[in-house]
Amino acid sequence: MAPNDEENIDAVEESDDDEVEEVAGEEATDLSNSDVCTKYQEASKIVNLTLEGLVTQCIPGAKILDLCEFGTKVMEAAAAKLYTKKVNGKTVDRGVAFPVCISVNDTVCNFSPLETEEVEPLKAGDIVKMDLGCHLDGYIAVAAHTCVVKESADDAEPPKDDDLAKCAVAAYNAMLVAAASITAGKTNTDVTLAVDRVAKAYGVKPISSVRMHQMKRYVLDGVKEVALNVPQPDDPEEEKVPDCTFEQAEVYAVDVAMSTGDGRARLGTERTTIFKRNVEQQYLLKSKASRQLLGEVDKRFPTLPFTMRQLTDVRTAKLGITECVNHGLLTPYPILHEYSGKVAHFKCTVLLLPSGTARVTGLSMPEYFKTDVQPDEETQKVLTKIADAEAKKAAKKAAKKKNKKKKK
pTM over 0.85: yes
Burial of 406 (0-12, 13-18, 19+ CB in 10 A): exposed
Q: Give 98-108 pLDDT, tens digit per residue.
A: 999 999 999 99
Question: Does residue 195 contact residue 257 with C-beta atoms inside 8 Å?
Answer: no
Q: What is the reported pLDDT for 407?
A: 67
Mean pLDDT check: name the lowest of 69-78, 156-165, 303-312, 323-332.
156-165
Q: Supply the angle between the helices 288-300 and 314-326 in degrees, to the nearest 10.
A: 90
**How many percent of the chain have pLDDT more than 70?**
92
Q: What is the reported pLDDT for 2?
A: 38
Q: Give 291-307 pLDDT, tens digit per residue.
A: 999 999 999 999 999 99
Q: Name the strands in the sheet holding 306-307, side by side, starting at the edge strand that comes first in the sequence.
A: 306-307, 274-277, 330-332
Neighbours of 212 (CB within 10 A): 25
Helix, strand, coil shares of the chain, percent, nearest 5, are: 40, 20, 40
Question: Does residue 186 contact residue 200 with C-beta atoms inside 8 Å?
Answer: no
**Of 70, 75, 57, 68, the residue nearest 117 (C-alpha):** 68
Average pLDDT value for residue range 235-242:
79
Question: Does residue 313 contact residue 291 with C-beta atoms inside 8 Å?
Answer: no
Mean pLDDT of the chain: 91
pLDDT at 22 over 90: no
Q: What is the reported pLDDT for 3?
A: 36
Q: Which helix (H) or strand (E) holds 384?
A: helix 377-407
Average pLDDT value for residue range 26-32:
85
Higher pLDDT, 361 or 158: 361
Mean pLDDT check: name the lowest of 48-52, 104-108, 143-147, 403-407.
403-407
- Provide DSSP, 273-317: -EEEE-TT-------HHHHHHHHHHHHH-SSS-EEGGGSS-HHHH
Amino acid letter for position 406: K
